[in-house]
Amino acid sequence: MLLHHAIPAIVHGLRDMNLRIAFAESCTGGRLAADLTTVPGSSDVVMGSAVCYQLEAKRKILGLDFVTEDNVVSLKTVTAMALAARDLFGADVGVATTGWLDGEHPQAYWAAAGPIIDEATGKPHVHWDCIEFPKNNPRDFNREIVVRAVMESLEIFAVKDPIHA
């Protein structure tokens, strides 16, 4: 587990804001939810997690009928995953990851959707990022980079500056 100091702070920050979180994880394989649930009392804020690694799981569990091999690692897909996780578990915030951790073009997307509503669209605000990796990085190293990026963003949202996250 990394960012061990941040994980309890994230859980307590979400609890203080009375927010519940859910996950749809692909390239992180459940690590985000697993790390948060190491904190006693995390059941107050962690609603659930769906590890949807294969395309078929993204389609069947999350209802993402549009997902193909060509668009699985994209902003559109990760945003839909985050919104689906939020809705599936009845959470306030949905967080998702998808990516290719090795191969010809290693990259990953992650997104967090809600609870802030975009006044212009009436839809949940989505915070996201794309991470590109050097070709020679090991898969587990790249996965840790994604986990760290998401946890750091959750820490900013839940602890340091929730108004401007």
Task: Please write down the HEC assignment for all residues of the chain.
Answer: CCCCCHHHHHHHHHHHCCCCEEEEECCCCCHHHHHHCCCCCHHHCEEEEEECCCHHHHHHCCCCCCCCCCCCCCHHHHHHHHHHHHHHHCCCEEEEEEEECCCCCCEEEEEEEEEEECCCCCCEEEEEEEEECCCCCCHHHHHHHHHHHHHHHHHHHHHHCCCCC
Share of the chain above pLDDT 90, in %: 68
Residue 85 forms part of a structural domain = yes
Residue 1 belongs to a domain: no
pLDDT digits (tens, 9 = 90+) for 30-89: 999 999 999 999 999 999 999 999 999 999 999 999 999 999 999 999 999 999 999 999
Structural domain total, the chain: 1
Mean pLDDT over each residue of the chain, to the nearest integer: 89
Does a structural domain hold residue 165? no
User: What CATH number did the domain enclosing 67 receive?
Assistant: 3.90.950.20
Q: Residue 82: give the domain boundaries.
A: 6-160
Is 150 part of a structural domain of the chain? Answer: yes
Q: Is the pLDDT of residue 25 over 80?
A: yes
The predicted model gives 146-153 an average pLDDT of 93
Assigned domain for 137 exists: yes
